[in-house]
Amino acid sequence: MKNKKKVSAPLLCSVFLFSVALFLWVFGVYVVGSVGQNYMVEWQFFSLCGSDWSLPVVVDYISVVFSCFVCLISGSVSLFSVSYMEGEMFMRRFMLLIMAFVGSMNLLIFIPSLVTILLGWDGLGIVSFALVIYYQNKKSLAAGMLTVLANRIGDALLILSICFLVNWGEWRIGYGMTGSFSVLICFLVVIGAMTKSAQIPFSAWLPAAMAAPTPVSALVHSSTLVTAGVYLVIRFYSTLIEAQEVLWFLSKMGALTLLMAGLSACFEVDLKKIIALSTLSQLGLMMFTVGIGFPLIAVFHLFTHALFKALLFLCAGSIIHSTMDTQDGRILGGLSYLLPFSSGCLVLSSAALCGMPFLSGFYSKDLILEGAFSGFSGSLEVLVMLMGAGLSLVYSLRIMLVGVFGQNYGSSLLGYMVESGYVVSSICVLSIGAVMGGWLLQSVWVGVNGSSLVGVFGKVVISVVTFVGLSYGFISGILTETISKKFFSSLSWFLSSMWFMNLASGSFLAGVGLKLGKMMHLHLDLGWMEILGGQGMFKALSDGVSLSYFVQKGSLLVHTRIFLILLILFLVSSVMMY
């Protein structure tokens, strides 16, 4: 009975979430889409000093489709968790955390008021912290602390922006309002969003958060939580367009994050961390797209990316679970014969990540590359973006070589298990989305069918970036021992450590700070400060007390000595006076 109860909680949650996703898709296509209008319902709570605090609920294509995808991915993850976490004692607690996460995400999606967004934003931070530290070992606790501290910076910046927005008398966003402190408010909102979306210099927490269970990584750290920052920037875009300096800054940071994460993913060996760094790279691409002035294409890429990245994580989770918790890429390999279904879906999602034509990733990625060519970006910025987009092929091929093809250095076949029906069904749902998601969205949502006028040279460059990365990937895979090691030996540490981002984020406290603290303790607390401080004062006082005690002993010899000393002092002072 207990086991049935454990299974029933995630099954009920997944059925509920799938039905909500189906209702939202039908509602979005036939109500919002057919009429072609956006709706806003608003309740006013109170008005004070010219500032209204209201609860607006916005119903448009972006919010409905995003909520539909969140519920679809959450339902698939709940179904996947039945098999993946079957031995878990506190399954109900895990499902409650996931449902709290979905509730916080929907609060963030549907309510375009910065005060109420803060509630969903904080809810996401707290629930993600609880999910990252779920296994409660040393690694997951350290990762959870890094996650929550990075997210608290974003919370503090959002609270500051709310304080400055009182000057506008309005907390709702998406109206294209502007006023006093507009550049400062835009910077606060954008940097707050960058903490949640793990842009440079807040990138270290996202790969560290892979200490969470794999279903959590699939839900939280691939498709929903990390895209909350991008979603906030897109909702705030009508105000950001008044502050071009902020958009300039955002596009530069996005391009750098894209390049940094792509290079790091080419050197990583942990399967889950490679996928996490590919997520970071795609988030940088979305931020870059918003920065160069194409927010709608960034939303489109956000939706298609959510589908194939959640599928990629679930396939990786199925492989890790079936190989007795092995996720080191140096051991895995040759799984195409042992786990054909998971391996096939892993190849499918990697191909969608590359931008393979007519899979869901192709539609949005091609639009972004065209937009970068037709926009007003600098040539160096476009070059960095093209390099980052080209690297997506390299790390996608690396995921396939690590997980599916290549030589297996693992244990005997006794350590392998077969995927359960729950895992297969959850992967099937997302694989349909990864194949047809982009085409379906373009067919029902006219706004993302934009085309940019790009010349023949631009299209040739886009094709080269999309396909030439494969040849580089094969070359680096085949000639790893000879060319790559010589070429990258000096750069490998710099590139694999995310441009020292981990050192910059955690080591001020965990590494350098603790070492300096130990040195100060040994050399100052137990050294000079001890001699000149507490112990020295104690010794001086004890010597003084012992001298006073010695003087007051009442001995004739002591009194004679004191009399002689005072007499000598009196004579010396009188001689000096005359």
Instruction: For 108-170, give the DSSP string.
Output: HHH--BHHHHHHHHHHHHHHHHHHHTTT-SHHHHHHHHHHHHHHHHHHHHHHHHHHHHGGGT-
Q: Is the same domain home to 450 and 558?
A: no
Q: Is the same domain home to 407 and 369?
A: yes
Q: Which residue has the tokens 């998971």?
A: 342
Q: What is the pLDDT of residue 284?
A: 92
Question: Which pLDDT band, with edges at 50, 70 and 90, does 489 fall under?
Answer: low
Express as a percent the part of the chain with pLDDT over 70: 85
Q: Average pLDDT of the chain?
A: 81
Q: Any idea which of 5-19, 20-34, 87-101, 518-532 has the lowest mean pLDDT?
A: 518-532
Residue, of 528 and 114, whose pLDDT is higher: 114
Query: Does 263 map to a domain?
Result: yes
Question: Which pLDDT band, with edges at 50, 70 and 90, does 188 fall under?
Answer: very high
How large is the average pLDDT for residues 442-451?
Answer: 70
**pLDDT of 526 above 60:** yes
Q: Is the same domain home to 162 and 186?
A: yes
Query: Does 306 map to a domain?
Result: yes
Give the integer Cα–Cα distance in Å for 219 and 206.
13
Highest mean pLDDT among 101-105, 321-325, 411-415, 419-423: 101-105
Q: Is the same domain home to 220 and 337?
A: yes
Q: What is the pLDDT of residue 194?
A: 92
Question: Which pLDDT band, with edges at 50, 70 and 90, does 40 fall under?
Answer: confident
Q: Is the same domain home to 366 and 323?
A: yes
Query: Does 246 map to a domain?
Result: yes
State whether residue 39 is helix, strand or coil.
Answer: strand
Give the integer Cα–Cα distance in Å for 4 and 16.
18
Question: Which pLDDT band, with edges at 50, 70 and 90, does 500 fall under?
Answer: low
Query: Does 318 map to a domain?
Result: yes
Q: What is the pLDDT of residue 192?
A: 92
371 Cβ neighbours under 8 A, 6+ residues apart:
289, 292, 293, 294, 297, 450, 452
Q: Is the same domain home to 431 and 522?
A: no
CA distances to 7, 234, 268 from 320, in Å: 21, 35, 17
Q: Is the same domain home to 367 and 311?
A: yes
Q: What SS3 string covers 451-499? A: CCCCCHHHHHHHHHHHHHHHHHHHHHHHCHHHHHHHHHCCCHHHHHCCC
Give the integer Cα–Cα distance in Å for 459 and 366.
10
Query: Does 491 map to a domain?
Result: yes
CA 218, 364, 350, 253 torsion: positive or negative?
negative
Give the integer Cα–Cα distance in Å for 267 and 442.
35
Q: Is the same domain home to 354 and 446?
A: yes
Residue, of 76 and 361, whose pLDDT is higher: 76
Q: Any idea which of 178-187, 358-367, 492-501 has the lowest mean pLDDT?
A: 492-501
DSSP state, residue 223: I
Nearest to 367 by CA among 442, 473, 451, 431: 451
Q: Is the same domain home to 471 and 489?
A: no
* Number of domains present in the structure of the chain: 3
Give the integer Cα–Cα distance in Å for 205 and 501.
10
Structure confidence by residue, pLDDT tens digits, 242-299? 888 999 999 989 988 998 888 888 888 888 888 889 999 999 999 999 998 888 889 9
Highest mean pLDDT among 246-260, 319-333, 538-552: 246-260
**pLDDT of 123 above 70:** yes
Query: Does 289 map to a domain?
Result: yes
Instruction: Yes or no: say if 38 and 59 are a contact pair by the CB < 8 Å rule.
Output: yes
Query: Does 520 map to a domain?
Result: yes
Kindly state the helix (H) or strand (E) to which residue 310 belongs, with its residue range. Answer: helix 295-322
Q: Is the same domain home to 366 and 493?
A: no
Instruction: For 239-268, give the DSSP string.
Output: HHTT-HHHHHHHHHHHHHHHHHHHHHHTT-
How large is the average pLDDT for residues 189-210?
Answer: 87
How large is the average pLDDT for residues 486-496?
Answer: 64
3-state helix, strand, coil in the chain (%, to 5): 75, 5, 20
Q: What is the pLDDT of residue 412?
A: 62
Burial of 195: CB neighbours in 10 Å, binned 0-12, 13-18, 19+: buried
How large is the average pLDDT for residues 188-216?
Answer: 86
**pLDDT of 35 above 70:** no
Domain range spanning residue 317?
A: 144-482
**pLDDT of 481 above 50:** no
Structure confidence by residue, pLDDT tens digits, 414-443? 566 777 788 888 889 889 888 888 888 887
CA distances to 140, 186, 207, 212 from 133, in Å: 5, 33, 14, 7
**pLDDT of 477 above 60:** no
Q: Is the same domain home to 366 and 250?
A: yes
Q: Is the same domain home to 357 and 253?
A: yes
Q: What is the pLDDT of residue 283?
A: 92
Per-residue tokens: 191: 């940097």
Query: Does 135 map to a domain?
Result: no
How large is the average pLDDT for residues 169-195?
Answer: 83
Give the integer Cα–Cα distance in Å for 275 and 259.
15
Nearest to 114 by CA among 178, 49, 160, 47: 160
Structure confidence by residue, pLDDT tens digits, 145-166? 888 888 888 899 999 998 888 7
Return the beta strands (E) in 306-399 as ranges.
Answer: none
**pLDDT of 578 above 60:** yes
Give the integer Cα–Cα distance in Å for 33 and 191.
33
CA 104, 291, 268, 266 torsion: positive or negative?
positive
